[in-house]
Amino acid sequence: MTYFLLKAALSGFLIAFISEVARRHPSFGGLIASLPLISLLAIIWLWRDTGGDVSQVAAHARATLWYVVPSLPFFLILPALMERGANFWVSLIIASVITIGLYVVAIGIAARFGITFNQGQ
């Protein structure tokens, strides 16, 4: 339980830190947020939790790539909607729904290349 709390505290600290930096300096906060810090932590935790299972860590990293690519339009859609006067929450929901749709498309494309995302190996 202590290990879990350590993981949660460190991960939560990073998110809080990034949001504080972004509040003061939006561009620098965006730069920090674009770094794969959470992914790196997740990979480190997974490596440790699986006893160094190379195939599981590699599968996680590969799956992360397939999910990052379709998430990129979110960062174009959200500000575009808000700058055109759409309510923040409406913009967030629309951008999120479109991103979820793009995830489904990416999973379909990945399947055509023989890449599957096993749930609960």
Give the amino acid at 65: L
Mean pLDDT of the chain: 89
pTM given for the model = 0.71
What was the pLDDT predicted at 74?
96
What was the pLDDT predicted at 100?
95
Q: Which residue has 């729904």 as its token pair?
A: 97
User: Which residues, in sequence order, are CB contacts of 61 under 8 Å at separation 6+?
Assistant: 39, 43
Query: Are the C-beta atoms of 68 and 33 separated by less than 8 Å?
Result: no
Q: Which residue has 């991103």 as its token pair?
A: 99
Q: Which residue has 């990052």 as its token pair?
A: 68
Q: Average pLDDT for residues 76-94, to the nearest whole number?
A: 98
What was the pLDDT predicted at 118?
63
pLDDT band at 16 (very low <50, low <70, confident <90, very high): very high
Q: Tell me the pLDDT tens digit for each residue of 46-67.
A: 999 999 999 999 988 888 888 8
- Report how far residue 8's alpha carbon sits from residue 76's, in angstroms, rounded to the nearest whole number: 30
Is the model's pLDDT at 121 over the cut of 80? no
Is the model's pLDDT at 41 over the cut of 80? yes
Query: Are the C-beta atoms of 3 and 41 separated by less than 8 Å?
Result: no
- Report how far residue 100's alpha carbon sits from residue 79's, in angstroms, rounded to the nearest whole number: 17
Q: Which residue has 């599981």 as its token pair?
A: 56
Q: Average pLDDT for residues 78-98, to the nearest whole number?
A: 98
